[in-house]
Homo-oligomer: A and B are copies of this chain.
Amino acid sequence: MDQHIAPVALEKASRLLNHGPTVLVSARHGCVQNVMAAAWACTLDFLPPKLTVVLDKSTSTRALIERSGTFVIQVPTVAQLTLTHQVGTRGLADHPDKLAHAGVELFDMEDYDQPFVAGCSAWLACKLLPEPRNQQVYDLFIGEVVGAWSDTRVFTDGRWHFETADPALRSLHYVAGGHFYATGDAMDSGIDDVT
């Protein structure tokens, strides 16, 4: 495992997606594996951590997730801008070499039989919580996060450090037509949490 990758406690895992980044979704079933981009992914719960992701019926990744019951959500970086757009626009069915063409390098995480994308800033290994109606009617998939990791150069001690890390490690926020925004300046509300 890359020297910069370290586990994130599950109770802090929601923070990896809280800022609303575009993500990469990866999955494997048998000898087939794929990676796609998804702008429509969102935290659903703190503990056990859960998330939602929208997966169109036309995607090969969706079929792999339905068969394997597992997937990985990872947070790509500014350095992976072109890779992210490429895996989000080319389908595996028409482009069987899409991963190699996009420069995707996959690696294994011990004890997790899922493909992880190298070079990201965070990884969330998920178990599908089957909800047939959501999946059929809304293309909406719910996952429980069973393992989480971050690149410690940009996420440590349970929080992001975009303001001090290499700008190439910032997250991407997709808009449309190949246009993205990077995560920007840090701001503090200046008030304490009250309930």
Contact = CB atoms under 8 A, between A and B. Distances in A.
**How many copies of the shown chain assemble into the complex?**
2
B140 A52 contact: yes
Interface in A159-195: 159-160, 162, 170, 172-195
A41 B17 CA distance: 11
A142 interface: yes
Nearest to A170: B184
A178 B193 contact: yes
A10 interface: no
B89 A194 contact: yes
Interface in A41-92: 41-45, 50, 52, 54, 78, 81-82, 84-86, 89-91
B179 A89 contact: no
A112 interface: no
Interface residues of A, number: 61
A22 interface: yes
A195 B86 CA distance: 9
B193 A19 contact: no
A45 B180 CA distance: 19
A21 interface: yes
Contacts of A84: 189
A21 to B, nearest CB: 6
Nearest to A187: B180
Contacts of A41: 42
